[in-house]
Amino acid sequence: MPSFGHPVPYRALGYHKDTQESRSMPTAGQTLRKVLAQSQKELLADWIQAQQSATTLRIDLMKDGELREQSREFLSLIQGASEAGSLEQIEGSHWAPAREFLARVSRSRAQHGFSPAQTATFVFSLKQPLFTRLRAEFGQDAQGLAEEVWLTTELFDRLGLLTTESYVKSREEIIQRQQREMMELSTPVVQLWDNILALPLIGTLDSERTQVVMESLLQKIVETGASIAIIDITGVPTVDTLVAQHLLKTVAAARLMGADCIISGIRPQIAQTIVHLGVNLSEVTTKASLADAFAVALKRTQAKLPQQFAT
Amino acid sequence: MEKIPILKMGRFLLVTVQVDMHDQLAMQLQDDLTSRIVASKARGVLIDISSLEVVDSFIGRMISNIAAMARVLDAETVVVGIQPAVAITLVELGLSLEGVRTALNVDRGMALLQERLADEQR
């Protein structure tokens, strides 16, 4: 594969080859390179027009100027990469700027709410203007045209797949981050009074969350030296045997740390479910509301006003 | 051979587990503690496992056995200083030390024992 340091001699050489030899001995990718280098402006115009008329364009999510800017940058990156080396392997280092650019574009589009198809169309829509140019270049040479089109298609398929891959990756990152945030948000342990902690649970209790809840509760017990923990399940939509088991585990673990647990916020339906399921909550103090539980806790700890409030 | 020290504090015995408890050591402690309770007529036993970072099912069962034995000998047992990770492990192993009193630290455990003693004397 010939490499050219400067576009001017390349262009001159390409022209030269085209007129004299390339008809008999075409090099793979030669014409594509030529098209990319010589008619960049027209390509860009056609491409942007194709993108604007496509049904997948999301004018509500992206400004026209941004689209133009991205198209221009991508085209010049492709051109740079194609001149620097092979068109078959986009894994090479000369494709790195183009790959990074695509990853960045996909990420930003994923964050703005584009669908994967809409994101990949950004790359695929460049095919048509390119093919038109290639057809004009080759004229009657069907063999050469087919080869060149195949090469181009393969290249752009790879680039398109790359955008989908980065799109999915950035989506996954978003999901993971949100999961982490939800996990942190959903398990606050608050200190209500000297020696009294409250743990308002919101959402379904699965094993993973129970683990987090348990850990943060126990950690807080160590930090504050609390002797009573109120677990409020007002925000837990359903209580099945598994959830009940998780609750009992948390209670048992807190007891091992020397803290008694009170379960509060049991709604009438949940009380019925618990009894129907045969869950044994007899060893745990249960209260209907957080206020009741707090009153019991205050009585048990013989609480007085905390130091800073006592006047 | 290393041994877990048993200290006498007034009418209570204080056991602090400072080393990694292996099975032999736990058996040894069981022997030592029961004979010390009888010899010293102790009314309460405080077992501090705050430096214990790993427990397995055997050690968990030994702790609850020791507590049960002490109770048979009329000495209230309080296990104190269970680390969060240890507590979770014990619960996951299904050993929630039923019937053993627990407290956050030695201070709280001692207060608990003294309360008990005061109740009895009243």
Interface contact flag, B82 A257, Cβ < 8 Å: yes
The alpha-carbon gap from B24 to the nearest alpha carbon of chain A, in Å, equals 24
The amino acid sitting at A172 is: E
How far is residue A165's CA from residue A162's CA, in Å, rounded to a whole number?
A: 5
Across the interface, whether the CB atoms of B102 and A227 are under 8 A apart is answered: no
Query: In chain A, whose CA is at the least distance from the CA of B112?
Result: A258
Domain ranges of chain A: 7-179, 190-300
Give me the pLDDT at residue A7, please.
46
pLDDT at A309: 58
Superfamily of domain A190-300: STAS domain (3.30.750.24)
Of A55-59, A82-86, B95-99, the poorest mean pLDDT is in A55-59
Q: What percent of chain A has pLDDT over 70?
A: 87
- Quick check: B88 and A225 CB within 8 A? no
Binned at pLDDT 50, 70 and 90, residue B98 comes out as confident
- 3-state secondary structure string across chain A: CCCCCCHHHHHHHHHHHHHHCCCCCCCCCHHHHHHHHHCHHHHHHHHHHHHHHCCCCCCCCCCHHHHHHHHHHHHHHHHHHHHHCCCCCCCCHHHHHHHHHHHHHHHHHHHHCCCHHHHHHHHHCCHHHHHHHHHHHHCCCHHHHHHHHHHHHHHHHHHHHHHHHHHHHHHHHHHHHHHHHHHHHCCCCEEEECCEEEEEEECCCCHHHHHHHHHHHHHHHHHHCCCEEEEEEEECCCCCHHHHHHHHHHHHHHHHCCCEEEEECCCHHHHHHHHHHCCCCCCCEECCCHHHHHHHHHHHCCCCCCCCCCC
DSSP annotation of B94 reads T
Q: How confident is the model at residue A11 (pLDDT cuts 50, 70, 90)?
A: very low
Pull the structure tokens for residue A47: 């491409």
DSSP H stretches of helix in chain B: 23-40, 57-72, 84-92, 106-121
Residue-wise pLDDT for A99-139, tens only, equals 889 888 888 888 888 888 888 888 888 888 888 888 888 88
> Would you state the pLDDT for residue B1?
65
Domains for chain B: give ranges and CATH numbers: 6-103 (3.30.750.24)
* pLDDT score at A310: 55
Least confident segment among A58-72, A153-167, B23-37: A58-72
Contact across the interface for B96 and A225, Cβ inside 8 Å? no
CATH of domain A7-179: 1.10.490
Query: What is the spatial distance between Cα B122 and Cα B113, in angstroms, rounded to a whole number?
Result: 14
Is it true that A7-179 and A190-300 share their CATH fold? Answer: no
